[in-house]
Structure 1
Amino acid sequence: MSTEPRTVTVNLLVTKPLEIEEPDWCVGHRDDHAQFRPDLTHNGPEVSARIDLRRGPAKFLTAWISHAPYGELAPEPQPILAINVGADTLSCDPDGVRSFTNLVRAHCDVLDQLATELERVRGGAQ
């Protein structure tokens, strides 16, 4: 058995404060601890449609302005609109937002048609 001291190399995450510019629309950061610069994301206030369900209020189509200026996998050169749709979040530029809202409006027309059909079905079932 050796009497020499054993050594090991361990990678340490060195942290230090990083001062960054924050846009006036950013509402702050949920966590002031980012491991790497690409983890930094600016987010604006969330807006949601709200509906009262039997089990209580629910919100849907939550959206906010977001910008990940240093993102490694998908750096965003410009802020985008993040739209939460179910379990997915869409990242849209202004044209993408307009395409999305046109699709939602068209779908609302279909829902109105279904409401008319439902009235007919209910009237016939009585």
Structure 2
Amino acid sequence: MSTEPRTVTINILVTKPLEIDEPDWCVDPHTGANFRPDIAHNGPEIAASFETALGTVDYLRAWISHAPYVALVSEPLPIVAVEVDAEVMALDPDSLRAFTATTRAHLDALDLLADEADRIRGEAR
């Protein structure tokens, strides 16, 4: 058995403040980022709201977002985050336009359902 002192290298987490550029559209307080890839700039949120008998329902939340230190991001520029049914989609401008076109078509279909419901209700009277 050797009497020489032994050493081992251990990776430890060291934290220190990081100063980053802040876009003028960012409203995120930047709390909870422990690593550079956790940093995201988020703009003001918009949401559609609808009043029901049970209260207000917010849906189709969206905001501009940019995670400048995420290496696997295929779109390095800010994207639009759109939340539908608790799932967030990261869309570039062309994909967002395609999404809104699909949503408009769906809204037209909902109007047709309302017309059909009116017709059925009229027959039931």
Partner secondary structure for residue 115 of structure 1: helix
Aligned to 1:3: none
Mapped partners of 1:94, 1:61: distance in 2: 16
Aligned to 1:5: none
Deviation per residue, 1:73-122 (Å, 9 max, x gap): 43641000000011211111110111011001000110111111000110
Mapped partners of 2:46, 2:53: distance in 1: 22
- Give ranges in structure 1 of 5+ residues lacking alignment: 1-7
8 Å Cα contact 1:67-1:76 kept in structure 2 = no
8 Å Cα contact 2:30-2:40 kept in structure 1 = no
TM-score (norm 1): 0.86
Mapped partners of 2:107, 2:28: distance in 1: 34
Deviation per residue, 1:5-43 (Å, 9 max, x gap): xxx976532110000001000003251x42211111000
User: Which runs of 4 or more aligned residues in structure 1 lie more than 6 Å from their structure 2 counterparts after TM superposition?
Assistant: none
Segment of structure 1 superposing worse, 53-62 or 66-75: 66-75
Aligned to 2:124: 125
2:54 equivalent to 1:55: yes
Q: Which amino acid counterpart does residue 28 of structure 2 have in structure 1?
A: G
- Give ranges in structure 2 of 5+ residues lacking alignment: 1-7
Mapped partners of 1:48, 1:119: distance in 2: 28
**Identical columns (%):** 55
Aligned to 1:13: 13
